Structure 1
Amino acid sequence: MAPVADRQGYWGPTTSTLDWCEENYAVTWYIAEFWNTVSNLIMIIPPIFGAIQSVRDGLEKRYIAAYLALTVVGMGSWCFHMTLKYEMQLLDELPMIYSSCIFVYCMFECFKTKNSVNYHLLFTLVLFSLIVTTVYLKVKEPVFHQVMYGMLVFTLVLRSIYIVTWVYPWLRGLGYTSLGIFLLGFLLWNVDNIFCDPLRNFRKKVPPIVGVTTQFHAWWHILTGLGSYLHILFRAYEGTFVLLFMGKFNFTFAPWPVFSVEATNRY
């Protein structure tokens, strides 16, 4: 991570507890971290279309909620990196917890054979979210947030490996692709944090177009956005497989990964 507020612009002094490696206001006076901001488009636009497709296919509301939650994360991250204000930081970080809880709910409900609500699991995840929110607002320690978020991601990873290993092995390709892309983003996030000073020095010596490729926090957004999107497709595929029979499943990559259901008959 970079030193706090190396430059000021339209939004004034930095008030967030975090300031990432991208030089502040280096591209435009109106956006603090330009590439870290615009890279969030991948978490905003595709999930909106995913939610629309889910509505058209009549999928369960939990999948629509998952898509919309990813969109909210992208919008919050956009506001945070654009302003570097503490309030916007919360708009970025807290939805990460909430969206991951929605993903966990979808993951553990994938084997049910009818449309229903697991109120016990729902209550547990809501309570967890409330506790994390309350503690984080009080302590304002980013490491606490990162640990809580990591716990949720770790739960999702273990559950996914179990499903593609023992239950739906034909979904290994999609499941491992989602996981691999997400972990690659996590690796680049750490590279950006650990090697910030060398990266900044490198960007000063190379053409801007080359320097942009080393904005690894932006790559974190792109890769985790794609990985999360594929994860929702993975959840929708396996969940719909249980709830539907004699259905036609379409999964294509042109121009963006799309999953749709046709000619379905419900139990």
Structure 2
Amino acid sequence: MAPAADREGYWGPTTSTLDWCEENYSVTWYIAEFWNTVSNLIMIIPPMFGAVQSVRDGLEKRYIASYLALTVVGMGSWCFHMTLKYEMQLLDELPMIYSCCIFVYCMFECFKIKNSVNYHLLFTLVLFSLIVTTVYLKVKEPIFHQVMYGMLVFTLVLRSIYIVTWVYPWLRGLGYTSLGIFLLGFLFWNIDNIFCESLR
């Protein structure tokens, strides 16, 4: 985490419960964490094209929702890192939970009849999202969000491993390469958090 003594910019004092390692307002007075902000373009632009292509290909709404959810996460993350305001932090973190719930739904329903709806799973994921949202708004503890998000990601990883091991074994290389890249990103994220002072 970055020290609290970073300079103040256009958006005023930091109100978010997190302030990442990047120095605040070091590139421009209008963006608190410049590189963390602009790197979100990869989470905004490609998923928009994915959503459009999904519509053109006549894919089910759940796939379109997945792409749009990624776009919303990217936009929320842009707003959070640009301002370091608590409200914008929620605009980043809560859509992370919601989008992962959409991904979980898609992963568990990917072998079902087209246009069928698993109302039990849908209800469970909506209820989970509501509970996480309510608790997180009360406790305002980033660790709670990270644990809940981690549980969803762990569920996605386990389901992916099952699919590439038993259903589509010819995709095993792609699946494990994707997992390796994800874990490498997670490692770098932790290094950035733990060794921020010495890395700056």
Fold agreement, TM-score > 0.5: yes
Deviation at 1:171, TM superposition (A): 1.7
Deviation at 1:119, TM superposition (A): 0.5
CA contact (8 A) 1:6 1:23 kept: yes
The range that moved more, 50-59 or 168-177, is: 168-177
Deviation at 1:181, TM superposition (A): 1.9
Point out the structure with max Rg over C-alpha. Answer: 1
Deviation at 1:111, TM superposition (A): 1.2
Structure 1-normalised TM-score? 0.72
Q: 1:155 to 1:5 in 2, by over 3 A?
A: farther
- For residues 40-119 of structure 1, the aligned pairs below 5 Å read 40-119=40-119
Deviation at 1:2, TM superposition (A): 1.4
Q: Equivalent pairs: percent with the same residue?
A: 94
Whole-Å Cα distance in 1 between the matches of residues 17 and 73 of structure 2? 18
1:204-233 Cα deviation digits (max 9, x unpaired) = xxxxxxxxxxxxxxxxxxxxxxxxxxxxxx
Higher strand share: 1
Whole-Å Cα distance in 2 between the matches of residues 128 and 180 of structure 1? 28
CA contact (8 A) 2:33 2:81 kept: yes
Deviation at 1:182, TM superposition (A): 1.6
Deviation at 1:177, TM superposition (A): 2.8
Equivalent position SS for 2:110? coil
Deviation at 1:5, TM superposition (A): 5.1
Whole-Å Cα distance in 2 between the matches of residues 42 and 5 of structure 1? 30
Corresponding residue number in structure 1 for 2:19: 19
CA contact (8 A) 1:10 1:29 kept: yes
Whole-Å Cα distance in 2 between the matches of residues 172 and 4 of structure 1? 45
CA contact (8 A) 1:93 1:145 kept: yes
Where in structure 1 do 4 or more consecutive aligned residues deviate above 4 Å?
none
The CA RMSD measured in Å over matched residues stands at: 0.9
| Unmatched runs of 5 consecutive residues or more in structure 1 | 197-267
CA contact (8 A) 1:100 1:153 kept: yes
1:143-174 Cα deviation digits (max 9, x unpaired) = 00000000000000011001100111122233
- For residues 216-235 of structure 1, the aligned pairs below 5 Å read none
Equivalent position SS for 2:14? coil
Equivalent position SS for 1:115? coil
Deviation at 1:184, TM superposition (A): 1.4
Whole-Å Cα distance in 1 between the matches of residues 96 and 55 of structure 2? 23
Whole-Å Cα distance in 2 between the matches of residues 156 and 107 of structure 1? 7
1:40-96 Cα deviation digits (max 9, x unpaired) = 000000000011111110011111000000000000000000000000000000000
1:98-142 Cα deviation digits (max 9, x unpaired) = 000000000000111332111000000000000000000000000
Equivalent position SS for 2:150? helix
Equivalent position SS for 1:46? helix
Higher relative contact order (CA closer than 8 Å, sequence separation 6+): 1
Deviation at 1:179, TM superposition (A): 1.9
Equivalenced residue count is: 196
Whole-Å Cα distance in 2 between the matches of residues 111 and 52 of structure 1? 23
| Unmatched runs of 5 consecutive residues or more in structure 2 | none
Deviation at 1:36, TM superposition (A): 0.4
Deviation at 1:6, TM superposition (A): 1.3
CA contact (8 A) 2:60 2:114 kept: no
Structure 2-normalised TM-score? 0.96
CA contact (8 A) 1:5 1:24 kept: no
Q: 1:42 to 1:133 in 2, by over 3 A?
A: same
CA contact (8 A) 1:41 1:74 kept: yes
1:179-213 Cα deviation digits (max 9, x unpaired) = 222211111100100110xxxxxxxxxxxxxxxxx
